Structure 1
Amino acid sequence: MEERTLVILGATGSIGTQTLDVLRKTSGIRLVGISFHRNVELAKRIVEEFQVENVAVTGDVRVESDFAKKIWKGHDSIGEMLESLKPDITMVAVSGFSGLRAVLFSIRYSRRVCLANKESLVCGGFLVRRSLKKTNTELIPVDSEHNAIFQILESDVQKIILTASGGALRDWNVEDMESATPEDVLKHPVWKMGARITVDSATMVNKTFEVLEAMELFDLPFEKVDVKIHREGLVHGVVILPDGNVKIVISPPDMRIPISYSLFYPKRANLETFAVEEISTLSFEDPDPRKYPVLSLLPRIKDSYALRTVFNAADEVAVNAFLKGKIRFGGIYRVIEKTLEEFTSFSEPKNLEEIEQIHEEAQKTAGRVTEWLSSISF
């Protein structure tokens, strides 16, 4: 069987490095290109280990001319590299809003896109779907919840359930959560992830994104997507069928499993097996609206790509301020809520440029809100 070619965008991040671990344990896929933002040292090790010849550098960092055989730099580096390589598979592990542009390039130049970027569907789902219709590109979700639903979804469903850990503060009193420190919040009870997504797990912003993602990926109405806190971290997706049957996907909380599925679909990689006897309890509970008030914003933003983009931009600014100690944990929700309130007059975006403009304006507004909040919080 001929080797398929792979490009990893965001190769030095959490999903990128776990994708590399899957490649170390499997065969049949050859890594031909990577992108990275700032971690030059790790990128160099990846290039040397996997003999990568093509590298896109998106950050303002210096790399030597002998770093790789071909080096692209700057804002358009990812698109230029993908156009040159036209890989069989592109893993989009770029974090944040910039992932939208990366996804659109990947759809244009790849046969399969493994999607590990939430913002692309939250802010620009209509653009992603429009691009997919113009190509024969497959889009397979990498998020454990959406990957699980992808595996078991049927054409007629009553509801799907996305499971959530509840984050590091799930057992804290509501009153104490306000003053939680970054150190407290970054102690995730189940997963080991990047800083922003770990904070987003504690606020449930992450799950808010995932509800919107599920609507986009599976063409489901808001009413058919539910969220439950599942402490054990073993059930990743649930599909409830009209006849009373329920399908669930159970696996260890290891991102290499959905990563491998997205890479090798419809086949499955030979990874470590899971002992069913390890399951003792499977619990599900509704999220407490007092602990996770951000979920209450979903009905307001679900049908507006403009407000989704504002929501995401405000969260980016607020989480960054929290991690730097400028605002308290409870301030993250207040920044998002206040920023949304400020956007009373807006038009729905029609293209990527208009989404990027909304994102930029929302960041500025969220910045002003954050500065005001920081001045009265301490």
Structure 2
Amino acid sequence: MAERTIVIVGMTGSIGTQALEVIEKIKTFQIIAGTYHTNAELAQKLAKKYNVSELICTAEGYEELEGFLEREKPDVTLVCIPGFVSLPITLKAIETSRRVLLASKEALVCGGWLVRQMKEKTSCELIPLDSEHSAVMQLYEPSVEKLLLTSSGGALRDWKLEELDRAKPSDVLKHPVWKMGKRITIDSATMVNKGFEVLEACELFQLRASQIEVLIHKEGLVHAAVFLRDGTIKMHLGFPDMRVPIAYGLTYPERLYQQRSWPDLLEAQLKFERVDRDRYPAFYLAYEIEKDYAKRTAYNAADEVCVDAFLKGRIKFTDIARIIERVIGKIEGNVRDLSDLKDVDGASRRIAEEVIEWLSCTS
């Protein structure tokens, strides 16, 4: 495979650093740019180690990055930044790149129809990097009737329900399976992250939320399964290692990444559990807002605000789901474009902050 150009949006994050490791190993890409937000020291270190041609700081906005993408038109753009801001960057990446690797769930959660519209205007390939959606992509065929996405259940999965109120950030950040950033680790514990993934799967595979089942699978070996109309179930198994779906996305349809290590099937435990509504109320909200992009944007915005507030000790862990539900309930109306979504995002954040302030005054 000839060397191709790649831009990594969010190079200093968990996905970005693992992507650098994979690229170094498969040696088929020239990294023409990487972005960072505030961690300049790490960015400089990574740029030197992995021969990144240009660093772009996004702390004050993404205009420089958008201009770079427009000018350079990279073969591949990897988008792995958290939050609503990933949506406009994803749209620009699809417009200017031959392939976009998407690790930012929020782009599809908030603006899935905009992403699909932009993709239809171009010849760009859109490949998901979530381990679950990558697994579905590898299993998918036209006769799929429904999907299974698995979940670890997060750091508090074995806590008693009455103990969740006292969970501290240090407790929630101890993920039992994956090593990830702070927000996604907390979202794993509330299973908001899995709610995002249900909505993401709806967009990627053109299915209804009712066709997407989620089960707790603590061992983390089965990432997804597809149910075919003839009664066949195909499962994707492998160790929980994000470098594998990253490599698959980078080199698809080839598999150039080598890691000759497989789960011992004699020892593998393939156990599944239902998702407890009392333990994970925020997860089930995703099914209720499937067709409402305004409420989906509110779902994400409220979660972003709540995760930050929880990390700062302003709210309890169990407040996160309550606040998200309240914010969603206050957002109404149709959204027509990116500008409308930005307005909803801003309004949702303000409402979330108001609810948090109210809680602090009443507690």
TM-score (norm 1): 0.93
| Residue 149 (structure 2) aligns with | 162
The answer as to 2:222 corresponding to 1:230 is: no
* Matched residue, 2:130: 143
1:270 and 1:51, CA in 2 relative to 1: closer, same or farther beyond 3 A? closer
More displaced stretch, 132-141 vs 83-92 = 83-92
Deviation digits for residues 9-49 of structure 1 (CA, Å, limit 9, x no counterpart): 00000100000010121111111111111110011112222
**Distance across 2 between alignment mates of 1:27 and 1:176:** 48
Per mean C-alpha deviation after superposition, the further-off stretch among 110-119 and 349-358 is: 349-358
For the residue of structure 1 that corresponds to 2:166, the secondary structure is: coil
- Stretches of structure 1 that go unaligned for 5 or more consecutive residues are 61-73
Residues 31-85 of structure 1, C-alpha deviations (whole Å, 9 max, x = no match): 111111111001111222233222221104xxxxxxxxxxxxx431221111111
Partner residue in 2 for 1:40: 40
Q: Could you say which residue in structure 2 is the equivalent of 1:370?
A: 356
Letter paired with 2:4? R
Alignment of 1:116 with 2:103, yes or no, is: yes
Distance between the aligned counterparts of 1:326 and 1:347, measured in 2? 30
Given that residues 238 and 263 in structure 2 are in contact (C-alpha distance below 8 angstroms), is that contact kept between their aligned partners in structure 1? Answer: no
Alpha-carbon displacement from aligned partner over 1:220-270 (angstroms, at most 9, x marks no partner): 011110100001001111001111111111111000000000000000123
- Is the contact between residue 24 and residue 50 of structure 2 (CA under 8 Å) also seen in structure 1? no
Amino acid at match of 1:23: I
Superposed, which structure 2 residues align to 1:333-348 within 5 Å? 333-343=321-331, 346-348=332-334
Aligned to 1:49: 49
Q: Summarize deviations over 1:339-359 as a string: whole Å, max 9, x none.
A: 12222xx32211111101110
Alpha-carbon distance between aligned partners in 2 of 1:298 and 1:270, rounded to the nearest angstrom = 34
Give 1:125-274 correspondences, 5 Å limit: 125-274=112-261
The code of the aligned residue for 2:315 comes to I
Q: What is the aligned-residue RMSD (CA, Å)?
A: 1.2
Q: Secondary structure at the match of 1:178?
A: helix
Percent same amino acid at aligned positions? Answer: 48
Query: Could you tell me which amino acid in structure 1 is paired with residue 71 of structure 2?
Result: S
Q: Secondary structure at the match of 1:284?
A: coil
**Please, which runs of 5 or more residues in structure 2 have no aligned partner?**
none
Asked if 1:286 is matched to 2:247, the reply is no
Question: Size of the alignment, in residue pairs?
Answer: 362
User: In 1, distance between residues paired with 2:337 and 2:109?
Assistant: 14
The whole-number CA distance in structure 2 between the counterparts of 1:280 and 1:260 is 24
By how many angstroms is 1:276 displaced?
4.0
How many Å separate the matches in 2 of 1:30 and 1:374?
50
| Match in the other structure for 1:358 | 344
Alignment map for 1:307-322 (pairs within 5 Å): 307-322=295-310
The question of whether the paired residues in 2 share the 8 Å contact of 1:78 and 1:105 is answered with no
SS in 1 for 2:283: helix
Question: What SS does the aligned partner of 1:140 have?
Answer: strand
What is the deviation of 1:2?
Answer: 2.3
Moved over 4 A (4+): none
1:271 CA displacement: 2.1
Alpha-carbon separation, structure 1, partners of 2:287 and 2:45: 45
**Which range moved further: 41-50 or 322-331?**
41-50
Cα distance in structure 2, aligned partners of 1:243 and 1:166: 30
Conserved 8 A contact 1:55-1:81: no
Q: Which moved more, 1:267-276 or 1:250-259?
A: 267-276
Map Cα deviations across residues 158-201 of structure 1 (whole Å, 9 max, x no partner): 21000000000101111111221111111100001111100000
Any idea what SS the aligned residue of 1:370 has? helix
